[in-house]
Amino acid sequence: MTMKPLINLGKNGLTPTFVSGVADAIESRELIKISLLQASEETPKTVGAYLSQEIPGLEVAQTIGRTVLVYKQANDRDNRRISNEIAKL
């Protein structure tokens, strides 16, 4: 996957601000990559589970190393590029 991480998680951890940023980004893009920096004490599994709990409909698509790829269908039909492609399959 050539997508670059859109959001980095550092030493501040899983804060409401972090969750809000992920929610905003996922609404406009549907699929985002989150990179866990070395300063982060969280694991990719913990981050994925926490985000899935905090953002209804969010799914962890993949984890590789310290990177988490998450997906959620956009509420706004204009932002549904990926989900429209998936529906065609």
Question: Into how many domains does the chain fold?
Answer: 1
Tell me whether residue 1 is in a domain.
no
Per-residue pLDDT tens over the stretch 24-33:
999 999 999 9
Q: Which two tokens stand for residue 35?
A: 């990179």
**Domain range spanning residue 49?**
7-88
Tell me whether residue 16 is in a domain.
yes
Tell me whether residue 2 is in a domain.
no
What pLDDT score was predicted for residue 79?
86
Tell me whether residue 74 is in a domain.
yes
25: domain CATH number?
Answer: 3.30.110.60
In angstroms, the CA 6 to CA 36 distance is 11
Backbone phi, then psi, for 19, in 5-degree steps?
-60, -40
Contacts of 11 (CB under 8 A, 6+ apart): 37, 39, 40, 41
Task: Tell me the pTM.
Answer: 0.87
Residue pair 27/78 in contact (Cβ under 8 Å)? The answer is no
Per-residue pLDDT tens over the stretch 59-89:
999 999 999 999 999 888 888 888 888 888 8
C-alpha torsion angle, residues 53, 57, 61, 64 (rounded to 10) = -30
